[in-house]
Amino acid sequence: MSSVTVYVGLDYHQSAVQVCVMDASGKVLLNRRCPNCWRTIAAVVHRHGGCVQAAIEACSGAAELADELVQQGGWSVNLAHPGYVARLKQSPDKTDFGDARLLADLERVGYLPRVWLAPEPVRELRRLVRFRQQLAQQRRNTKLRIRALLRELRLVVPAGRSAWTRSWIDWLKRTDVFGRQTRWIMDRHLNELERLDREIRQVEQLLTSTTKDDQLVQRLMQTPGIGLVTAVTLRAEIGRFDRFRSGKQLARFCGLSPRNASSGQRQADAGLIKAGNPQLRAVLMEAAHRLMRYEDRWIALGHSLRRQGKPNSLVVAAIANRWIRWLYHQVPAYELAA
């Protein structure tokens, strides 16, 4: 039984996992619900075969289970793209039984739309990077609330003070133009802003120490216009550059390529593709703005596109696209290991 190859589809849920076991001919050997525990799942599957090729849809928690089955159970496990798997269904019905069977069958015939299973260090870095992004979003929202409060009260900031500078914030703390309740609200907002600034600095210090030996991050930070946040975001979200077959494929993963909308004689683009991590795309767009100020090559390309009448948003997207595709060919193999 140890030499028999079986194909397994895992429909993941937090409390339990639907497990479908299929042989090479497509016969279903088992399709049952198991506790969310890799040992239990492995014990059930190994009754039917010792060589396991499994598939599980990418979702919260699925990567951890897949990693346990690979490292502890000795399985071969592929993550599947849930959106593409849904398009391959032959029925509008949605059941755990059917989902697990479809995953097993796609794995068996080699037609599974795969997603990269990032190693544990990369997943840890992703959590840290995304936690900083959450803090930055909270800080942005706090600033918007402060602005809204000032606009509601029709307050004009004294001349010579730029927004969010130390002197501007000191004026907000000391001014007596607020009513009693408004003063209390403003103090809460300012205290929250200070707390978020402090926590973001702590996260960035941790990111710096975590990636101090990462050659890719250190090399990126030597590029004019590329700082810590951009470098660690690329490392966390992309992981390994060599998992892509080309720079164009990498650019599409980052959401920087135009989506083709051609049909018949009509040849057209429909804007940037919406797939991928929106925060990764935003970081690359911000990087493109800076590259057009510091790097002669990208400055010249930006000027050339503007002379052709291209809008600034398209120019920035084009710079980001070209830069990430150029970077794909610049990263040597020894810098790719996570």
What topology is assigned to 5-115 in CATH?
Nucleotidyltransferase; domain 5 (3.30.420)
| CA dist., res. 253 & res. 250, Å (int) | 5
**pLDDT tier at 332, thresholds 50, 70, 90:** low
Token pair of 68, please? 């346990």
Would you kindly state where each structural domain of the chain is located, as residue ranges? 5-115, 120-210, 216-335
Label the pairing between strands 16-22 and 28-35.
Answer: antiparallel
Neighbours of 230 (CB within 10 A): 20
Q: Is the pLDDT of residue 264 over 90?
A: no
Mean pLDDT of 319-335: 83
Q: Is the pLDDT of residue 23 over 90?
A: yes
Q: What is the pLDDT of residues 166-194, one digit of tens each?
A: 888 988 898 888 889 999 999 999 999 99
| pLDDT score of 316 more than 80 | yes
What is the pLDDT confidence band of residue 334, given thresholds at 50, 70 and 90?
very low
pLDDT band at residue 336 under the 50/70/90 scheme? very low
The highest-confidence range among 36-50, 129-143, 154-168, by mean pLDDT, is: 129-143
Tens digits of residue pLDDT in 78-121 = 999 998 898 888 778 889 999 999 999 999 999 999 989 899 99
pLDDT of 288 > 60? The answer is: yes
Residue-wise burial string across 109-140, b where 16 or more C-beta atoms lie within 10 A, e elsewhere = eeebbebbbbeeebbebbebbeebbebeebbe
Mean pLDDT of 57-75: 92
Per-residue confidence at 50, pLDDT binned at 50, 70, 90?
Answer: confident
Residues 6+ apart with CB under 8 A from 199: 135
Least confident of 123-132, 160-169, 230-239: 160-169
| Residue 160 confidence (pLDDT) above 90 | no
Output the CA torsion 247→250→256→257 (10° steps): 60
Residue-wise pLDDT tens digits, 270-283? 677 777 788 999 99
Mean pLDDT of 57-83: 92
Q: Average the pLDDT over each of 32-46, 70-84, 253-267 and give the range with the smallest value.
A: 253-267
